[in-house]
Amino acid sequence: MGLIVQKYGGTSVGDIDRIRNVARRVARTYDAGDKVVVVLSAMSGTTDRLIAMAEEACERPDKREMDVLLATGEQTTVALLAMILKCMGYQATSLLGFQAEVVTDCSCGAARILNIGASRIRRLLDDGQIVIVAGFQGSDAEGNITTLGRGGSDTSAVAIAAALKADTCEIYTDVDGVYTTDPNICKKARKLSRVSYDEMLEMASLGAKVLQIRSVEFAKKYNVPVHVRSSFKDEEGTMVMQEDADMERLVVSGVTCNKNEARITLKGVPDRPGIAFRILNPIAEAGILVDMIIQNTRSGNITDFTFTVPKTDIRDALEISKKVAEEIGAEEVMADPNIAKVSVIGVGMKNHSGVASKMFAAMCEENINMIMISTSEIRISCIIEEKYTELAVRALHTTFGLDRPEEKLS
């Protein structure tokens, strides 16, 4: 007999029929002899509807009150699932964030979980009950309601699984697992049966929208095995877990792409110490996240300085850069929003050399120019022209042997 935490996302609880479907799945797990804690999101669309309501009410809704408002979304789904399970003859109890003792800091709208008491969850489980916890929400030390930010229910689920030392945390979503790349871009994309926490972190931050990054960090920290799977199918999905020897056989596990960045270049910058700080500090102070940075020496004491920022911040970043350029005597500032970042990810890279040159060769063969390159221990990313994104993803997917095996295609 195990203890399983199951998290169902917004589309899985999108209407009453779908909540009934969730109830049947939960009941099946319970009937199989496992203890079950269920963590729910709000019905899909609810959070957006509530935000629109708040924005109709006032221009800049107060964050504390926004959290009070948003928390109603999960409150609705946990009550509905609990009543359906009870009508099916199961003992079930819903718990809101504060009732499940999900203690967070006070940063409303993006609160971080500090601790999960879980004493009431444990008592209810010991009592043979199915426990249904509202995801995405908690309360701070003063008892104010807080929310964890977009996708926070994943983090709730993993944190509760960690607190209860659950055997698995199952994340039910509308995709059936983690793929080698986006199946919409590359038809040969293949579901991974296992992926390591670190790979998942790189994939999540690079654009695979399966799991919230923070939930993966949590899972890694507390070593919670996370099973990503579809609530509409019965097949196994992808296990996100500690890396093992077996995983390393695959040099690259996935190819990701991301069109959310834009590039800014300051041309003709005097090449002297401290110049990177002069340029990037005002950007950071404006709360803009810089991703990649490159500095090319051109000739003599002159250099070109390039960095990428989120596309949504391009206007602000450009304005700041122009001001700095004038101060430091740079020649010109250019902005380019038509770029994409393509990455290959794999824990196997740690023990294999030549991944980068193989990647560069594949890009060269397709005549794709790499504008910027950055690497980590388990990732190589490059910035290319946006129009080549899909071509690059497919080429890399084939190059690193990720295409779906022939026999599965027939």
> What residues are designated binding site for ATP?
7-10, 173-174, 179, 209-210
Tokens 């960045």 belong to 261
Given 21, 29, 34, 83, the residue binding its own copies (CB under 8 A): 83
258-107-40 Cα angle (round to 5): 65
**Cβ-Cβ contacts under 8 Å for 158 (sequence gap 6 or more):** 5, 169, 215, 216, 218, 219, 222, 224, 226
Helix (H, G, I), strand (E, B) or coil at 384: strand
Tell me if 406 contacts its own copies by CB under 8 A.
Answer: no
The gap from C-alpha 265 to its chain's centroid, in whole angstroms, comes to 29
Binding mask 355-374 for its own copies (x = CB under 8 A): --------------------
Tell me if 22 contacts its own copies by CB under 8 A.
Answer: no
Tell me if 80 contacts its own copies by CB under 8 A.
Answer: yes
Between 63 and 112, CB nearer to its own copies: 63
Asked if 240 contacts 226 with a C-beta cutoff of 8 angstroms, the reply is yes
Asked if 399 contacts 366 with a C-beta cutoff of 8 angstroms, the reply is no
Q: How far is the CB of 25 from its own copies (least distance, A)?
A: 16
Q: What is the dihedral of CA 126, 132, 137, 143, to 10 degrees?
A: -50
Classify burial at 53, counting beta carbons within 10 Å of its beta carbon; exposed 0-12, middle 13-18, buried 19 or more: exposed
The gap from C-alpha 372 to its chain's centroid, in whole angstroms, comes to 24
Tokens 């199951």 belong to 6
Question: What part of residues 51-70 is at the interface with its own copies (CB under 8 A)?
Answer: 53-54, 56-62, 64-66, 68-69
A 10 A CB-CB count for 301 gives: 10
Instruction: Indicate the annotated binding residues for substrate.
Output: 47, 74
Q: How far is the CB of 30 from its own copies (least distance, A)?
A: 17
Q: How far is the CB of 96 from its own copies (least distance, A)?
A: 7
The closest of 184, 181, 240, 239 to 213, measured between CA atoms, is 240
Between 79 and 185, CB nearer to its own copies: 79
Q: How far is the CB of 162 from its own copies (least distance, A)?
A: 23
Tell me if 75 contacts its own copies by CB under 8 A.
Answer: yes
For residues 33 and 130, give the distance between their C-alpha atoms in angstroms, rounded to a whole number. Answer: 12
Tell me if 86 contacts its own copies by CB under 8 A.
Answer: yes
Binding mask 125-164 for its own copies (x = CB under 8 A): ------------------xxx-------------------
Instruction: Indicate the annotated binding residues.
Output: 7-10, 47, 74, 173-174, 179, 209-210
Tell me if 317 contacts its own copies by CB under 8 A.
Answer: no
Classify burial at 331, counting beta carbons within 10 Å of its beta carbon; exposed 0-12, middle 13-18, buried 19 or more: exposed
Tell me if 124 contacts its own copies by CB under 8 A.
Answer: no
Q: Which stretch binds its own copies (CB under 8 A): 85-93, 274-282, 340-348, 379-387?
A: 85-93
What is the binding site for its own copies (CB under 8 A)?
16, 19-20, 50, 53-54, 56-62, 64-66, 68-69, 71-72, 75-76, 78-80, 82-84, 86-87, 93-94, 96, 98-99, 143-145
